Structure 1
């Protein structure tokens, strides 16, 4: 297993040049995009390796194929230039033929509004023995998509870039970035956990960045570096970057470092679309379907967000109905299983009188029958706790759920390495704020928490 990992690292190292080095810093003429392709071991890409499949409300199960330069196909299709266009592009080792997430996204978009939806099929260029070749092919596919958009604008009344929304997952996000760069004026690009390996130091022309569209938003779910088992781009790429559950790994997903790295070599689609990485397109799909948005909060880092220090900062809706006038890095937490979207709860606990100092750990747990929920540590172990001290943390409840519907368990464990420390914690108050409605609730007032005992708290509207 380790040998395979080393092989992948060698491939990445050997291919560290930016993907545009395949084609140079130029706009490559159509049907000659494979010029200067350096590998003799793999087939050169051609436009025959790419399909653009058009779906509309009249043809959601029977797509029209669009080919740049083919007016007969365009005129015989159901494309409507006065309607918006959403182009969805898959990632490495995927196919549009039987992609559940692409099909579900297409249907959700068509249910949401009367629009044109194109699914980009580039399976032959995204699937193979080497990720590095697929990564470099994103530049080729991006130029092909840009050519198609220009062809539609030149031959369809009412159509231009202001109607275009490009949505790409993993390598598909990098395809979308190239397309936006080569076809200026795209209204929006949404990057769903943009691929990281081989793009970390790449020229912005060969990857997604904020200059590729009027609005670029990204959902990061597996951000990091390949050496640590992450497939997503680590740094912000757009006008709005949402780091979900910290952006590195997703709540409810199994640990996945070495096994998934091995699968990227053996090309198992199930694990390339690994749990945390693939959550990005699940979140985007849910954002189309949801009646209530999930809000991200601008914050300098995830640790500060988790201890409740960023609820007075700008906020933005994530996904399809993104807050368009917001800018910056936003953090958002989710539930561990679908439906994922959550409301964030700011919890404020004030230490009560009675003892001069307390030492111990306090944990909260949202009780949702039938669903896995995570334990949140408000404070732990060694710091001294004094009467009047205010401590904060962040909890989540499912979207469209009110605070008084959800009980919260709280447990205090004294630090037994400090035997003189009290066996209890006096609490002056525990106040919770539903950050979606801004309503304040009282969870507890003047309560004594005995060590090791679980207390179930019920929210009551109003202050304590």
Structure 2
């Protein structure tokens, strides 16, 4: 099947809403919304309809789908799109992708509505997601909502514009719904402020049709100034039959966190804990790290289309990383990302999973290491600057090194007989099943000190996990301490 692109550029005329905040096409601005966004603390009113910023003239909808014998683009105003809409296969699922605040993007000039217009460069993630959707899913329609004109003003101005953008998108979608697109086949997703636009769209369609759309996905929904906003104007569990939210920047060292903390969907996924992303720590400045944290979520979501990632329901990231939530039994796991799928009918909860930068798809298997010890001797607890490496050796002699000296305080200062920790291993590492595990300690000051670990259990967090137990067989000092499966000779 050939990929054919139909670009809908909705020509936005210079039409002001009347004194009552009403417009003949998108309807009236709710009084509650006007109180929230027109008064304290926002002090910003939405810009006039069709003039979201006055730069590009308004909202642009770029729609793409698979069609065997057609390839055309179309530029028209809202009243003359009927013939074009008939070309769409309304039986296909509709995925609507919405960007967030664009004030920091690179200034550019583009031909928009027949005019060379000053605007900003649109991020690439929307097109990346569209591309991978067509690679993996033929029967899908994709709409990219380009509202840069309303997103290049100050943050609170862009925040105030979210309702106008949502209403424009509702009008656009209704043209397809009236031609047979089922509400349950609509999936709206957005990043940052775009997540709240997605929520408003879902809420408005529910009010108009008396039924919820299929799904709304929020990618690190924007946090600043949303602590007092009513649920009707932000992402919320009432927006769709399924609302899934992905958190990557819920805590900041510089300013108010960019991403919304807390649980706001049926299923909330906290990637790498949801606060800071390991991939961003190598950046030189804290401000760049914070931006990286907030935008990492879109990369993870794009990659999730191709690589299934399993997340597990848990009370907190601290409990997850300590291995306290380690089994997918009793429907505790879910497939995270675009291909979201709960195990069983229990879709609600807080879920956690990890990623890796070692592979392009970022996919990692969260792997539990459970240690049994003799109890750490006092002499070992006093060791300083001791390094530790875990070497995993597969049955095919493939190896993987985990360098993690952060294990040492837990191993050597704990009197617990059993403790666990979770570390990510790339999905494509092909390291399992294991033949043995080796532990190498560096800078140990005395060869007489005994190593306290006597057994290691390992298992992956996934529906069909790899599970194995390894017992210590090596007794020599200053060489790798070897653990093998009990059945091995």
TM-score range for the pair, normalised by the shorter chain length: 0.7 to 0.9
1:230 aligns with 2:257: yes
1:91 aligns with 2:100: yes
Q: Which one is further off, 142-151 or 235-244?
A: 142-151
Cα separation, partners in 2 of 1:273 and 1:301, compared to 1, 3 Å: closer
Q: Which one is further off, 311-320 or 183-192?
A: 311-320
Q: Which one is further off, 82-91 or 223-232?
A: 223-232
Does the CA-based 8 Å contact 2:281-2:289 persist in structure 1? no
Does the CA-based 8 Å contact 1:336-1:372 persist in structure 2? no
1:72 aligns with 2:72: no
In 1, Cα distance between the equivalents of 2:467 and 2:78? Answer: 57
Q: Which one is further off, 226-235 or 453-462?
A: 453-462
Cα separation, partners in 2 of 1:449 and 1:334, compared to 1, 3 Å: farther
- The structure 2 residue matched to 1:192, chosen from 203, 213, 219, is 219
1:380 aligns with 2:396: no
Matches within 5 A, 1:274-293: 274-290=291-307, 293=308
In 1, Cα distance between the equivalents of 2:290 and 2:72? Answer: 26
Does the CA-based 8 Å contact 1:178-1:207 persist in structure 2? yes
Matches within 5 A, 1:209-220: 209-220=236-247
Q: Offset of 1:79 from its aligned partner?
A: 1.8
Q: Which residue of 2 aligns with 1:173?
A: 195
Matches within 5 A, 1:286-435: 286-290=303-307, 293-312=308-327, 314-324=332-342, 325=345, 326-337=347-358, 338-352=360-374, 358-359=380-381, 363=388, 375=404, 377-380=406-409, 384-386=413-415, 389-404=417-432, 410=439, 412=441, 423-435=449-461
**Any stretches of 5+ residues in structure 2 without a counterpart?**
1-16, 52-56, 106-118, 207-211
More strand by share: 2
Q: Offset of 1:274 from its aligned partner?
A: 2.5
Q: Which residue of 1 aligns with 2:10?
A: none
Find the residue that maps to 1:74 and give its secondary structure: helix
Q: Offset of 1:144 from its aligned partner?
A: 1.6
- Scaled by the length of structure 1, the TM-score of the pair is 0.76
- Scaled by the length of structure 2, the TM-score of the pair is 0.73
1:53 aligns with 2:81: no
1:143 aligns with 2:167: yes
Find the residue that maps to 1:276 and give its secondary structure: helix
Q: Which residue of 2 aligns with 1:44?
A: 48
Find the residue that maps to 1:56 and give its secondary structure: strand
Q: Which residue of 2 aligns with 1:105?
A: 129
Q: Offset of 1:102 from its aligned partner?
A: 1.0
Q: Offset of 1:456 from its aligned partner?
A: 7.9
**Deviation per CA, 1:145-173, whole angstroms, max 9, x where unpaired?**
1222223212x1x2121110011111111
Q: Which one is further off, 80-89 or 23-32?
A: 23-32
**Any stretches of 5+ residues in structure 1 without a counterpart?**
1-21, 261-270
Aligned residues: CA RMSD: 4.2
In 1, Cα distance between the equivalents of 2:271 and 2:94? Answer: 27
Report how many aligned residue pairs link the two structures.
421
In 2, Cα distance between the equivalents of 1:104 and 1:197? Answer: 27
